[in-house]
């Protein structure tokens, strides 16, 4: 198991240079509200990525008039009105093909009923009339887990550390329960914390887990694996909550959207674990037996980079 998970850790380590992945996972958000039969008010918020805006634009079957444009350190917000000869029927976000991000489109009619859509570079256009929140937040949960490289590293280190099916089930269950608790509390504003310290502590949790992996059976996690991962899970749930806060929950069906986002995270987590187990099976069939030094190398690399993240993020808190 350690050799196979170490291989996946090495692949993940190579992705550490692709820091734009983590930044570009913040989606663009387009909210469209109907004013009367053929008039709509729209707010388009696109994130800043590596110090620049993405130059995205919205095209519909209606005439568009820019009302206001504002910028801040993290996003460009444009407010505009749509005047239609007929009902609003199509929306396209131009420029997504140059990015890795998605755009969440929420359309609210005069009665307050909403429909949610998700478009990306492959499918940047949507025909209105058949969307629901269900696939949108489920997909966003999966994507956040896959593209949140720090969360991926944490899950892989857990699989690397834990021996035996029973312990693995305990660890995965405790991590799931813990991050579900803090994600839910934060999503409904029962618990509120600043995201910068949370992100720094998440990096520190990876450092500590890497150290535990190198200590082997002398480490605390070997004695109380589910308890340690529960504590770390509470922390990572706050990180998930920060991503969800940027996306926002729909006013109608917020609880269902939260549930689907959480289920999406679990699907991504289980997919990573399944990949490690599948690789274990394939390697065991091939009869490969690498040395301990080779197996431990990615753990040193991950620990070192995560420590750099911790210092960098901590300095951002202090500035």
Minimum mean pLDDT among 226-230, 237-241, 285-289, 300-304: which range?
285-289
Q: Measure the CA–CA gap between 196 and 298, rounded to whole angstroms.
A: 26
Q: Tell me how far CA of residue 219 lies from CA of 32, 174, 249, in angstroms.
A: 53, 18, 40
Answer with the one of 106, 132, 158 that is the final residue of a domain.
132
Residues 15 and 161 in one domain: yes
Residue 188 lies in a domain: yes
Average per-residue pLDDT in the chain? 80
Highest mean pLDDT among 104-113, 229-238, 247-256: 229-238
pLDDT, tens only, 119-146: 888 889 988 865 554 478 888 888 888 8
Answer with the one of 132, 167, 197 that is the final residue of a domain.
132
Name the pLDDT band for 159 (thresholds 50, 70, 90).
Answer: confident
Residue 138 lies in a domain: no
Residue 100 dihedral angles phi and psi, to the nearest 5°: -105, 0
pLDDT, tens only, 267-286: 888 888 888 777 777 766 77
Residue 184 lies in a domain: yes
Q: Measure the CA–CA gap between 23 and 148, rounded to whole angstroms.
A: 9
- Is the pLDDT higher at 249 or at 96? 96
The residue range of the domain holding 254 is 2-22+148-318
Residue 277 lies in a domain: yes
Residue 141 lies in a domain: no
Minimum mean pLDDT among 16-20, 104-108, 111-115, 192-196: which range?
16-20
Residues 30 and 178 in one domain: no
Residues 111 and 231 in one domain: no
Name the pLDDT band for 17 (thresholds 50, 70, 90).
Answer: very low
Give every CB contact of residue 137 below 8 A, 6+ residues apart in sequence.
Answer: 116, 257, 258, 260, 261, 264
Residues 288 and 307 in one domain: yes
Residues 92 and 6 in one domain: no
Residues 120 and 179 in one domain: no
pLDDT at 24: 44
Residues 152 and 221 in one domain: yes
The pTM of this model reads 0.74
pLDDT at 89 over 80: yes
User: For 273-300, what is the mean pLDDT?
Assistant: 72
Structure tokens at 163: 């021996």
Q: How many domains does the chain have?
A: 2
Residues 122 and 173 in one domain: no
Residues 54 and 195 in one domain: no
Q: Measure the CA–CA gap between 67 and 64, rounded to whole angstroms.
A: 9
Residues 184 and 95 in one domain: no
User: For 309-316, what is the mean pLDDT?
Assistant: 88
pLDDT at 94: 92
How long, in residues, is the chain? Answer: 319
pLDDT at 21 over 50: no
Residue 194 lies in a domain: yes
pLDDT at 168: 78
Question: What CATH number does the domain containing 36 carry?
Answer: 2.60.40
Residue 137 lies in a domain: no
Residues 160 and 307 in one domain: yes
Structure tokens at 117: 């859509």
Residues 115 and 12 in one domain: no
Give every CB contact of residue 274 below 8 A, 6+ residues apart in sequence.
Answer: none
Contact (CB, 8 A) for 196 and 317? yes
């Amino acid at each position: 198991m350690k050799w196979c998970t170490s291989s996946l850790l090495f692949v993940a380590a190579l992705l550490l240079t692709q820091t734009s992945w983590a930044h570009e996972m913040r989606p663009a958000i387009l909210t469209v509200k109907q004013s009367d039969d053929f008039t709509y008010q729209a707010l388009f918020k696109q994130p800043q990525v590596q110090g620049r805006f993405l130059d995205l634009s919205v095209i519909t079957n209606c005439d568009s008039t820019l009302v206001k444009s504002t910028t801040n350190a993290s996003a460009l917000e444009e407010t505009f009105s749509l005047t239609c000869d007929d009902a609003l029927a199509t929306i396209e976000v131009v420029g997504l093909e140059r990015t890795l991000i998605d755009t969440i489109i929420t359309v609210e009619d005069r009665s307050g009923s909403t429909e949610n859509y998700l478009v990306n570079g492959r499918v940047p256009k949507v025909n209105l009339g058949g969307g629901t929140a269900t696939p949108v937040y489920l997909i966003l949960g999966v994507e956040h887990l896959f593209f949140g490289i720090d969360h991926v590293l944490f899950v892989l280190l857990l699989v690397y550390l834990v021996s035996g099916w029973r312990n693995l089930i305990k660890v995965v269950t405790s991590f799931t329960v813990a991050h579900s608790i803090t994600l839910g509390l934060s999503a409904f504003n029962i618990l509120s914390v600043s995201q910068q310290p949370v992100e720094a502590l998440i990096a520190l949790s990876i450092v500590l887990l890497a150290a535990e992996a190198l200590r082997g059976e002398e480490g605390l996690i070997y004695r109380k694996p589910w308890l340690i991962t529960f504590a770390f899970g509470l922390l990572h749930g706050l990180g998930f909550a920060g991503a969800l806060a940027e996306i926002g929950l729909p006013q109608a069906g917020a609880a269902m959207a939260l549930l689907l986002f959480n289920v999406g995270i679990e699907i991504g987590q289980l997919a990573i674990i399944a990949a490690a187990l599948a690789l274990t099976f394939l390697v065991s069939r091939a009869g490969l037996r690498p040395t301990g030094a080779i197996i431990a190398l990615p753990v040193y690399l991950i620990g070192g980079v995560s420590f750099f993240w911790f210092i960098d993020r901590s300095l951002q808190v202090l500035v």
